[in-house]
A and B are shown apart, each in its own frame.
Chain A
Amino acid sequence: MTGLARHRGAARPALVIDLDICVGCHACSVACKGASAGAPLADGVWPNQVFGYEIDAGDGGAGEGGRTVYVPRMCQHCEHPDCVTVCPTGASFQRAADGIVLIDAASCIGCRLCAWACPYGAREYDEAAGVMRKCTLCTERRDAVGAQTLPVCVSTCPSGARHFGDLGDPASAVSELVRRRGGFALLAEAGYGPAVRYLPPRPRAPVAPVTAAPDIAAVGGVERWLHHALAR
């Protein structure tokens, strides 16, 4: 019902999220609430959410292979966003210059068709305002302050797990990061062309089994024990 831009610019501003070092602290979610995408967000509206998953390494998740991975999830700013094409009023739109998907609150009627269409659960209905809300990549702030400004979820991340840059530029730092770390898209097979890239958790080195404290006399004195301990 709403058309996509015919001519797209080459820019592809996007988040790149490192699942290896995200600690699940939700600072991104809280900062997002604070920045609130230009207007206060009603209770229960969370454009950025962090989900925790337990990895099952074949032993039911227990043991050395088991680990918890946190996956922050927000609007993926898709190349082919059904949330835009289902919109009956044109409120949902994709910016021609950079492909960022935004909502014009003035023409949104809160029908929630876009929430049904989005495969990523990224759209939230704001009961107070009667309109849909979602991640804007802090576009309103960045347009006002300057393109070098980072989205608040990126600048606030205490572990540096979130990056932001132009994935349309193959020479950009984020493009290089995605290449080097094997970055992947969520649900790529669904064909929406999500812009966000996730860097997979690095494999863990096997953990040495815990042994009892060494009996220094038994291993031949301090010198040999030190040699053994430092050689590990």
Chain B
Amino acid sequence: MSVTELPTRLSTRHLLGIRDISAADIELIFSTAEGFTNMLQGRIRKVPTLRDTTVANVFFESSTRTRISFELAEKRLSADTVNFSASGSSVSKGETLLDTVRNILAMKVDMVVMRHPAPGACQFLSQHIDANIINAGDGTHEHPTQALLDAYSMRRRLGDLRGRRVVVVGDILHSRVALSNFLCLNKLGAEVAVCGPLTLIPRYVESLGVKVFAHLDDALAWCDVANVLRIQHERQDINFFPSLREYHRLYGITRARLAKAEKPILVMHPGPINRGVELSSDVADDPDQAIILEQVENGVAIRMAVLYLLGASTER
């Protein structure tokens, strides 16, 4: 899509998931993020755009990266921010989600960035309150800004993603990044596959237009990009595979494995990395191959773009 065909506004007031936004919205976010990426590399790191806007970062689940990234994005747009985390708050006293957020909004907050363990929590909230809502991860459902920054990072390295092949490796079942990634990459015209122990792959994943590889070597032979997910020990109350050592042997990305594919493969990881489990250190630390820190850097620009575009669509 050329620049002149881009819309000037997002088609939505909230960013609840990639499912709800169009390919044109994604292109608009990318084109705006491009501006912020350039800005962040230059002299000006902060612009006054959202100085009249207050953003609440409401995190019902722990997060370091996403939260810092959102907070930096907000501050670089000059928005006022308030942070709320569930631990040590009135949530532990039995307050409902709606009451908690209504109380925060009563203090005149314009946007809510929320992470919640329940899938659909942001959707629910958007039906009841007036602020712009940005989903920062709802359970194992969606994590739209992560998918956007992943696709944006791929695009900055590879150009147009149409026809590119991306394999998502690892724990698909417990991942919110995976679904958003499938939807986003599909909208941008890329082919998507998953690879991992079959116990960690959702049963009907093919209905999303996703190929399934049981063997990592086959997947690597097929793909241009490997997006490696973290094994989420904290979400696994039963054992989905016999041991971490076995997991690494079968699904761990190592230099030797990548060399076998005999072509350049971009390695991505949404963090935090379990070194020596899903990714070996030599791959993770190779800046030509793994773009993990680039993803983090692009994350701020993407989140600035989302905040900016949603903020611009709202009259104050």
Do A and B make up one complex?
no
